[in-house]
Amino acid sequence: MPNQPLPGQERFVAPLEETPLQAVDSLDVDETPASQWKEAWKQLRKSPLFIASAVLLVLLAIVIAVPQAFTNTDPFHCVLGRQFEGPSPGHPFGFDRQGCDVWSRTLYGARASVAVGVLATLLVALVGGLTGAVAGYFGKNADAIISRVSDIFFAIPILLASIVVLSIFNNLYPDRGFWGGVGAVVLALALFGWPQITRIMRGSVLEVKNLEFVDAARAIGASNWTNLRRHIVPNALPPVIVTSTVSLGIFIVAEATLSFLGLGLPRSRVVSWGNDIAAAQVVIPSGENLQVMFVPAAALALTVLAFILLGDAVRDALDPKARKR
C-alpha cells in the first residue's frame, strides 16, 4: 500500500486553466528575438534621464544649426561704445568688455565647443576601439605591445600634454581658421585620450571572445577578422559607447580650459565658450556685470550635464547589472 501523506502534508495541484503556464503556449516561438540594441531602446524611452538629456541636446542641436533663429546680431560685431552696456531689446544679457553681444556670442560659441567634443570623441573611440579589439582578440605580442604603449600614454596627464602640443601648433601655425583651430585641439586631445577606451575595449573583447556564439562562428569557417568584425566588436561596444558619451562632455570642458588658458581655439577667429569665459575674467574683481561670465559658463555647464545624463541613461540601458545595482 503506497505511503499516505500525513495530516497537513496534502498536495494541491491547481487546474491548468488557473495557472499562468498556459501563457507559455501562446508565445510565438518563431518570432525573431529582440536584439540588445532594441531592448536598450525600450529602456531608454522609459528613462527620465534620457528624456531630460534628449531635450537639452535637441535644443543644443537647433542652436548649433540655426543660431540666426535666436539672434540677429553678428558675434564679431563689437562696438566699444557699448562696453558693459546692460540688457536691451534683442540683447537680453547686455554686452561684454569689447562691446560684443553676450547672448549672440554664447549661441555661436556652441558650434566650436561642441565640434571639438564630438570630433575628439569619435577619433578617440575609433583609435581606442581598434587597438583594444586587436589587443583583446589576438593577445600575445599584439596585446603586449599595445598594452605597453597605452600604459605610456595613459601615464601622461591629458591636459598637460595638450598644453604642450597646442603650444607647438600655435608657434608653427599661428593663423589657423575655424577648422584649423578645431582640428588642432581635437588632435591634441585625441592623441592622449585613446588609452582609456583601449583598456575598456580590450576587457570587453576578452569577455566576449570566449562566448559560445564566437566558437560556433569559428566552427563554420569564419576567419579571425570576420569573427572580430561581425560578432565580437558589436557585442563588445556597449561599455565603449557609455564611456565615450561621458567623455564627450569631458572633452568640451577640456577645450574650454585650453581656450581659457589662451592655447585652444584662436580668439580672433573662433567664438567659443572658453574664449568668452577667459575674456570675462576682468569682471570678477569688481563683482559687476557678472552675466558676461555666467551666461557662457551656464551654457557650458548645461551641455556637459546633458551628455553626462545621456551617458548614465545609456549605461543603465546597455548594462543590466548596473540596473540591478
Centre a 10 Å sphere on the Cβ of residue 286 and count the other Cβ atoms it contains.
9
pLDDT digits (tens, 9 = 90+) for 273-309: 999 998 888 888 877 888 899 999 999 999 999 999 9
> Residue 74 falls within a domain, yes or no?
no
Tell me, what's the pLDDT at 149? 93
pLDDT digits (tens, 9 = 90+) for 23-67: 555 555 555 555 667 777 888 888 888 999 999 999 999 999 999
pLDDT digits (tens, 9 = 90+) for 206-245: 888 888 888 788 888 778 788 888 888 888 888 899 899 8
> Residue 40 falls within a domain, yes or no?
no
Q: What total number of domains does the chain contain?
A: 1
Structural domain harbouring 153: 96-210+238-318
Ranges 11-20, 86-95, 262-271: which has the least confidence? 11-20
State the Cα torsion 238-243-200-126 to the nearest 10°.
80
Q: Which residue has the higher pLDDT, 132 or 18?
A: 132
Question: In terms of pTM, does the model score above 0.85?
Answer: no
CA distances from 173 to 169, 184, 190, 256, 278 (A): 6, 10, 19, 20, 22
pLDDT digits (tens, 9 = 90+) for 236-281: 888 899 899 889 989 999 999 999 888 888 887 889 999 999 888 8
Centre a 10 Å sphere on the Cβ of residue 237 and count the other Cβ atoms it contains.
20
> Residue 11 falls within a domain, yes or no?
no
> Residue 172 falls within a domain, yes or no?
yes
Beta bridge mates, 78:
100
Neighbour-count burial for 82-98, b at 16+ CB within 10 Å, e otherwise: bebeeeeeebebbbbbe
> Residue 119 falls within a domain, yes or no?
yes
> Residue 28 falls within a domain, yes or no?
no
> Residue 108 falls within a domain, yes or no?
yes
> Residue 170 falls within a domain, yes or no?
yes
Average pLDDT, integer, range 321-325 = 53
Nearest to 54 by CA among 317, 324, 320: 317
Long-range contacts of 291-294, Cβ-Cβ distance < 8 Å, separation of 24 or more = 291/93, 291/94, 291/102, 292/84, 292/93, 292/94, 292/96, 292/97, 292/102
211: alpha, beta or left? (left if phi > 0; alpha if psi -120 to 50): beta
Residue type, 14: A
Tell me, what's the pLDDT at 55? 94
What CATH number did the domain enclosing 203 receive?
A: 1.10.3720.10
